[in-house]
A and B are shown apart, each in its own frame.
Chain A
């Protein structure tokens, strides 16, 4: 069974540009969570999608947005990039109805803003 995949692995952008990060969950998982991990810090919750709907978002400005597609893959968009957006962005998937609450994480996308 394929795990959670994320693309690209690395992304370098300049301040003011837009970045698009992608995540494919484990087959059958309907929920996708996005986290930001700045250097040396823990995971900060960004967004939660389930069954195509945004269920909750963390304390981030509106320039962080995303969507979930009918096949449950997800996209995170960051507009008007700022230097402090440089971080590892992790995506995790879960099947909430399975009774198991383990999140399966992807390898992450390392975003660098210069």
Chain B
């Protein structure tokens, strides 16, 4: 069965510091993809970063990087130089199953950036 686990319901980080949000996944698929989304209090889901299961290098997008450890089935999000605007819910998601067109979401981590 496909599953995404986020074990940190809430996290705090000082402004300008780096923070790591944890995500582990379970799948029997050989080909899958991992995503991170940001959801501010307004509710919209904002795509942050994507990592394919066959990608050998960790994905990076500006201040976001994905620490992909395939053997451990983990896909942690690292946010560098945190900003006040980073305060939001963060969801880890996986594409897999059903021909690779099914998406599974974790329960989310609430990040608060402290000035």
Q: What residue in chain A is nearest B89 (Cβ atoms)?
A: A42
A42-B91, A55-B98 known; A33 vs B103 contact (CB < 8 Å): yes
- List residues of chain A with CB within 8 A of the CB of B114: none
A75 touches B (CB below 8 Å): no
A10–B58 Cα distance when bound, in Å, is 39
- List residues of chain A with CB within 8 A of the CB of B37: 105
- List residues of chain A with CB within 8 A of the CB of B93: 43
A31-B101, A56-B102 known; A107 vs B91 contact (CB < 8 Å): no
A45 touches B (CB below 8 Å): yes
A110–B104 Cα distance when bound, in Å, is 21
Interface residues of A in 10-47 (CB under 8 A from B): 31, 33, 35, 41-45
A92–B33 Cα distance when bound, in Å, is 17
B74 touches A (CB below 8 Å): no
- Contact yes or no, A45 B104, CB < 8 A: yes
A102-B50, A105-B44, A108-B43 known; A42 vs B107 contact (CB < 8 Å): yes
| Binary per-residue interface labels of chain A (44-75) against chain B in the complex, 1 for a CB within 8 Å, 0 otherwise | 11001010000110000000000000000000
Question: Chain A: how many interface residues by the 8 Å CB criterion?
Answer: 25
- List residues of chain B with CB within 8 A of the CB of A108: 43-44
A33–B102 Cα distance when bound, in Å, is 9
A88–B105 Cα distance when bound, in Å, is 15
- Contact yes or no, B108 A42, CB < 8 A: yes
- Contact yes or no, A55 B105, CB < 8 A: no
- Contact yes or no, A101 B95, CB < 8 A: yes
| Closest-CB distance, B48 to chain A (whole angstroms) | 10
| Closest-CB distance, A38 to chain B (whole angstroms) | 11
Interface residues of B in 33-52 (CB under 8 A from A): 33, 35, 37, 42-45, 47, 50
- Contact yes or no, A48 B102, CB < 8 A: yes
Q: Which of B42, B91, B100, B103 has the most CB of A within 10 A?
A: B103
> What are 13 A-B contacts with C-beta separation under 8 Å?
A42-B106, A42-B108, A44-B105, A45-B104, A56-B98, A56-B102, A101-B95, A103-B47, A103-B103, A104-B47, A105-B37, A105-B45, A106-B44
